[in-house]
Amino acid sequence: MRDFRLSTAALALNTATLGHNMPGAGAGWSAEQTLDACARRGIGGIVFWRPEIGTRATQIGQYAQQVGVKVVGLCRAPFLTGPLSLQDPRKIKDDFLRSIDETSMLNGDVLTIVVGGVEAGTKGVHESLKYVTERVADVLDYAASNGVRLALEPLHPMYGGDRSCLTTTRDALDICDQLASSWLGVAIDVYHVWWDTEISQQLRRAQNRIFGFHLCDWLAHTTDFLLDRGMMGDGVADIKGLRACVESAGYDGFCEVEVFSAQNWWKRDPEDVLDIMVERFRTVC
């Protein structure tokens, strides 16, 4: 395993950790302020959310290059299925293509895909996963032509109905196997896979298809399944064990801290949040 005690070069901030994925949450920093704060701490990478980028993707990407912080990627592609999706397949595809364009304009490497929930008129996840596979396949060539890798992110099963019919790393890799593209892989998020007793086996199977590794923690007494994640070290997830499995599979990329926390971390001074994030990265990850 890599030794993070003396370097934050492999650390990336997902701006959700500062509340930037939710309107009105957090301190309201601009993208430039966030990049400056990362640069001051030697944080090597950053992942933005689409709402904070707006029409400024190229400008923000250029500023990131100026301050020496790598734009690792963008969150996220539109929901492809389920009640939270745009419903019209043509609109879903158009927004999917726009999200690829935005990632490219940022000089980002990876677009994260949270696939969406169970499609209306169906039961279980099998039919919905077929739709997901078809809609990802439909944009793979476009992503490749823009140099953007697509990362399927399996979510915890509690989100299966509305946010993600894709709930296991096994199913995500099955889609990767079916589409057989070097531009398609998976993102492994501690919050969503810490419970999975098959995870080490599936990560061995993943090999070079791991495109992202997301850090946070699962609080034993969480108060909100969406907006009460823990900072690394505050919960029950075996973070070092998961990182060992990810790196044994060949992953040597950024470790992205993504902490959704409406009642705790988003209410703190973002300077303090970043300082604690760096300290936890060095000591418990």
| Contact status, residue 111 vs residue 73, Cβ threshold 8 Å | yes
What is the pTM for the complete model shown? Answer: 0.97
In CATH terms, the fold of domain 11-284 is: TIM Barrel (3.20.20)
- Farthest-apart Cα atoms in the chain, separation: 53
Q: What is the rounded CA–CA span in Å between residue 61 and residue 273?
A: 23
Buried b (16+ CB within 10 A) or exposed e, 131-150: bbbebbeebbeebbebebbb
Which residues are 151's β-sheet partners?
112, 185
| Contact status, residue 108 vs residue 149, Cβ threshold 8 Å | no
Ordered by start, the domain boundaries in the chain are 11-284
- The sign of the CA dihedral 185, 154, 254, 135 is positive
Cα–Cα nearest to 47, from 275, 259, 282: 259
Q: What is the rounded CA–CA span in Å between residue 189 and residue 193?
A: 6
Q: What is the rounded CA–CA span in Å between residue 99 and residue 131?
A: 19
| Contact status, residue 132 vs residue 166, Cβ threshold 8 Å | yes
Q: What is the rounded CA–CA span in Å between residue 66 and residue 263?
A: 34
Encode the chain (285 residues) as per-residue pLDDT tens digits: 999 999 999 999 999 999 998 888 888 899 999 999 999 999 999 999 999 999 999 999 999 999 999 999 999 999 999 999 999 999 999 999 999 999 999 999 999 999 999 999 999 999 999 999 999 999 999 999 999 999 999 999 999 999 999 999 999 999 999 999 999 999 999 999 999 999 999 999 998 999 999 999 999 999 999 999 999 999 999 999 999 999 999 999 999 999 999 999 999 999 999 999 999 999 999
